[in-house]
Amino acid sequence: MSARLNGVQPYALGLFRIVIGLLFACHGAASLFGVLGGAAGTDGGTVDAGAWPGWYAAVIQLVGGVLVLLGLGTRAAAFIASGSMAYAYFKVHQPGALWPIQNGGEASAMFCWALLLFVFTGSGAFGLDRLFTRRSSTTESVERTPVTA
C-alpha cells in the first residue's frame, strides 16, 4: 500500500499546490479588485492602494498565489507568501487571543504552514518548474559533453 501511495505522491502534491495557490490568489484578488466578496471588513470593497500592510499583503497573495498555482518559482514564491502569512498571524490575529480558533487567524496559520511545505517539497507534478528543470538539465548535459578535436 505504501509503495502505491508513494508512487502517486508527486501528483497529490501537485494537486494540493494548485488548490492552495488558487485559494491564496483569490484572497489577493478579493482585496485588490473587490471580487468574490471584496476585502474583509469592506462590504465588497478593496483595500486602499499602497496601504500598509493590507495592500502589500494582497499583492503578495495574488502574485504568490498565481506563481504557486502555476508551479513557477514555487519555492521562492511560497517562502515569501508563507512569511507574509506568518506576519499576518502574529501582527494582526495573535494579539487578540492565543489560539487561532479564538483570534480568527486559522486561514493565516493554515496558509503559512501549507506554503512553507512547498518551500521544502517543490512544486510536485503539473508544475512549470519541472518543465523548465527538465529542459535546462537536458541543455546542460549537452553543453557538458566534451568535444574532441
Using CA atoms, how far apart are residues 80 and 86, in angstroms rounded to an integer? 10
Q: Which residue has the higher pLDDT, 137 or 43?
A: 43
Instruction: Determine the pLDDT at residue 111.
Output: 98
Instruction: Determine the pLDDT at residue 44.
Output: 79
**Residues 116-135: tens digit of each pLDDT:** 999 999 998 999 988 877 76
What separation, in Å, do the N-terminal and C-terminal C-alpha atoms of the chain show? 54
Instruction: Determine the pLDDT at residue 139.
Output: 54
Using CA atoms, how far apart are residues 53 and 69, in angstroms rounded to an integer? 23
User: Mean pLDDT over residues 66-71, rounded?
Assistant: 97
What is the pLDDT confidence band of residue 142, given thresholds at 50, 70 and 90?
very low
Q: What percent of the chain has pLDDT over 70?
A: 89
